[in-house]
Amino acid sequence: SDIEKGTYPHYMLKEIDEQPSVVRKIIQAYENEQGELAIDPAIAEALHEADRLYIIAAGTSYHAGLVGKEYFEKIARIPVEVHISSEFGYNMPLLSEKPLFIFITQSGETADSRQVLVKIKELGYPTLTITNVPGSTLSREADYTMLLHAGPEIAVASTKAYVAQVAVLAIAAYVEAKSQRIEVNFDLKKELAIVANAIQSIVDSKEVFEIASKDYLSTTRNAFFIGRNIDYCVSVEGALKLKEISYIQAEGFAGGELKHGTIALIEEGTPVIALVTQKSVSLNIRGNVKEVTARGANPCIISMEGMEQDGDAIVLPQVHPLLTPLMSVVPLQLISYYAALYRGCDVDKPRNLAKSVTVE
């Protein structure tokens, strides 16, 4: 069944492997009879009515929200703010006239997010929950729900739910853009199918990531993840994954921000994992890699076909530039997994953490 480990040593590895099929399942789940991507008309209407979206989430779901902002703004041209739920509760920004609140939560039970939902309902604003668990608290209490169709996620470290969240956000933005007759110059269904194949090829070559993990992370005290643009959104997720399961101190940074402080932390051998999937900023991020390398860092460049260079540690298959987060997160999940293994950590149940945080 879905919640058996089968031959897998850990749920996390099983759930990483399920990601290609999760993407395919989502394509099917959000297809109408004509085979076109579609969402519940009531949700389409709510998106259409809104003058601004407020995405509220915690942890990995917040990181998916950062990518979601890119989608709604770039594809559907709706302004978006992304907020950490525990902060939003007591520090509410000035709201627009017609906000739509979108709660992203794998479990649908996160107390920090729920307290925001309760407040927003009191204020009378429309709410949408994007969750993996039908019938969960945040699903029941919101006006609308979009499901992730990722199947049960057991490992504390979220993997397939993140990929599902990003895919569902892309679909929502795309369908909304189409319904507004905003020109979209790609076929999302086709591009998501390409992503599913790309993820498949990554999970089929685990040795590559096992070796990279050993090379870069087996003995280090700390690690940095850098990226620009949408790669930055993924770098913070990569850092969280590594922290929570391997206990290595890790941070994700926007490449250009290094020189404003963080670069002081770079020492001989400090691993710096750089994502290079965005052509528009690839020269800039490669420049940042040179800066840290000159100060002794051990750079691990993860690039994409079409913009690879000699010396890149990993070259990922080519996917649509907006959809790279769905794919580029997977090597980060895998290197975190192997780092946790080498260090003898409890991969599926890291210390001090619960799968869903039901206290504020």
In the complex, the residues that contact ligand AGP under the rule CB under 6 A are 58-61, 105-107, 110, 113, 156-158, 244, 356-357
Joined tokens for residue 23: 């993407």
Smallest distance from ligand AGP to CB 61, Å: 4
10 Å Cβ neighbour count for 101? 26
Smallest distance from ligand AGP to CB 189, Å: 26
Joined tokens for residue 52: 């601004």
In the complex with ligand AGP, the residue whose CB is nearer, 20 or 350, is 350
Smallest distance from ligand AGP to CB 340, Å: 12
In the complex with ligand AGP, the residue whose CB is nearer, 7 or 352, is 352
What does the alpha-carbon distance between residue 43 and residue 165 come to, in Å, rounded to a whole number? 16
Burial (CB count within 10 angstroms: exposed 0-12, middle 13-18, buried 19+), residue 293 = middle
In the complex with ligand AGP, the residue whose CB is nearer, 113 or 303, is 113
Q: Which amino acid is at 95?
A: L
Residue at shortest CB range from ligand AGP: 59
In the complex with ligand AGP, the residue whose CB is nearer, 37 or 164, is 164
10 Å Cβ neighbour count for 279? 12
Smallest distance from ligand AGP to CB 58, Å: 4
Q: Which amino acid is at 142?
A: A
What does the alpha-carbon distance between residue 116 and residue 110 come to, in Å, rounded to a whole number? 10
Q: For residue 70, which of 148, 164, 174 has the smallest C-alpha distance? A: 174
100 SS3 class: strand
327 and 195 in contact (C-beta within 8 Å)?
A: yes
Q: Which amino acid is at 23?
A: V
Smallest distance from ligand AGP to CB 102, Å: 13
In the complex with ligand AGP, the residue whose CB is nearer, 99 or 108, is 108
Joined tokens for residue 161: 């739910």
What does the alpha-carbon distance between residue 103 and residue 88 come to, in Å, rounded to a whole number? 12
Joined tokens for residue 156: 């504390």
State yes or no: is 74 an active-site residue: no
What does the alpha-carbon distance between residue 239 and residue 232 come to, in Å, rounded to a whole number? 11
Q: In terms of DSSP bridges, do strands 99-105 and 52-57 run parallel, antiparallel, or are they unpaired? A: parallel
In the complex with ligand AGP, the residue whose CB is nearer, 239 or 301, is 239
Q: DSSP labels for 48-82? A: HH-SEEEEEE-HHHHHHHHHHHHHHHHTS---EEE
The distance of Cα 180 from the centroid of its chain, to the nearest Å, equals 26
Smallest distance from ligand AGP to CB 105, Å: 3
What does the alpha-carbon distance between residue 194 and residue 196 come to, in Å, rounded to a whole number? 5
Joined tokens for residue 106: 């794998």
Phi, psi of 164 (to 5 degrees): -65, -40
Q: For residue 53, which of 39, 38, 70 has the smallest C-alpha distance? A: 70
In the complex with ligand AGP, the residue whose CB is nearer, 106 or 246, is 106
Smallest distance from ligand AGP to CB 332, Å: 12
Catalytic residue among 189, 206, 214, 355: 355
The catalytic site residues sit at: 355
